[in-house]
Amino acid sequence: MFSHLPSPFNALITGTGGLGVAFANALLERDSLGSLTLASRSPAEGVTADDRVTEITTDLSSEKGQRELAGQLPDHVHLWLHTVGVLHSDTISPEKRLEHLTTDQLTESFRINTATFGGLLGQLAPRISSQPVLIGVLSARIGSIGDNRLGGWYGYRASKAALNMLVKTASIELERRNPEAIIVSLHPGTTDTGLSKPFQGHVPDNKLFTPSYAADALLSVLANRTPDDSGSFWDWNDTPIEW
């Protein structure tokens, strides 16, 4: 499926929520997969038992956790899927009005949605700077500045826009360091996971995707990418999204 990658290839999934688990199970169906590392702050639930899987339980949002992950990975990661993100929690909810903005909530959104990936990039740079590598980062269309016509959801929009900037900027350096590197942002559509659960009421049935459907679609999108696409933004339907 991934003609750009060697066979067997080493895969890493950071974040094991609904989409992370779906990605894992989809990859485990491929004979070309050599090893799969799953990293998250809690054990993954629902991943097919397989000797190729290694689980690392650590806080990926902390520098300590990022170093722990880097220290346990193979020398080279060929496929990296980053699925860590937050829209709501006990301390975060989407802001609908300016009066709802707070420094603490914005800081937490950026810490999880943006800084976690940035820190991981720094720690994993030696493992993605040679040999072919394909990096897919879960973003969201709502992080597109050009596509923002509704407003609201300030922290989520801004932190995903910043995540996209990290992807774009990293693609420029990786092109110099590793011409066989591809890094892109991905929009999975509205997927039936815990992240979207409170906001699914107004989503048409045909627009609410199962995690397995979204994962398969995004893996197909990634399989179509070439180094010329590095630093771009794509939806599940293989359509580019403006920044």
Instruction: Assess if residue 2 is contained within a domain.
Output: no
Q: What CATH number is attached to the domain comprising 123? A: 3.40.50.720
Number of domains the chain is built from: 1
Instruction: Assess if residue 215 is contained within a domain.
Output: yes
Sequence-ordered list of residues with C-beta below 8 angstroms from that of 6, at least 6 positions apart, any chain:
78, 131, 132
pTM for this predicted structure:
0.93
Instruction: Assess if residue 240 is contained within a domain.
Output: no
H-run or E-run covering 198: none
Instruction: Assess if residue 65 is contained within a domain.
Output: yes
Instruction: Assess if residue 241 is contained within a domain.
Output: no
DSSP 3-state of 1: coil
Instruction: Assess if residue 21 is contained within a domain.
Output: yes
Rounded Cα distance between 48 and 90, Å, is 30
Task: Work out whether the CA dihedral 191, 196, 199, 200 comes out positive or negative.
Answer: positive
Instruction: Assess if residue 243 is contained within a domain.
Output: no
H-run or E-run covering 161: helix 154-177
Instruction: Assess if residue 4 is contained within a domain.
Output: no
4, two tokens: 């750009």
Contact 10, 30 (CB under 8 A): no
Domain of 128 in residue numbering reads as 9-235
| The predicted structure's pLDDT at residue 9 | 97
The tens-digit pLDDT sequence of the chain (243 residues) is: 789 999 999 999 999 999 999 999 999 999 999 999 999 999 999 999 999 999 999 999 999 999 999 999 999 999 999 999 998 787 888 999 999 999 999 999 999 999 999 999 999 999 999 999 999 999 999 999 999 989 999 999 999 999 999 999 999 999 999 999 999 999 998 877 655 555 555 666 666 789 999 999 999 999 999 999 999 999 999 999 999
22, two tokens: 């779906």
Place of tokens 């409170």: 198
Sequence-ordered list of residues with C-beta below 8 angstroms from that of 91, at least 6 positions apart, any chain:
104, 105, 108
Nearest 5 degrees, angle CA 80-CA 82-CA 85?
175
Sequence-ordered list of residues with C-beta below 8 angstroms from that of 172, at least 6 positions apart, any chain:
231
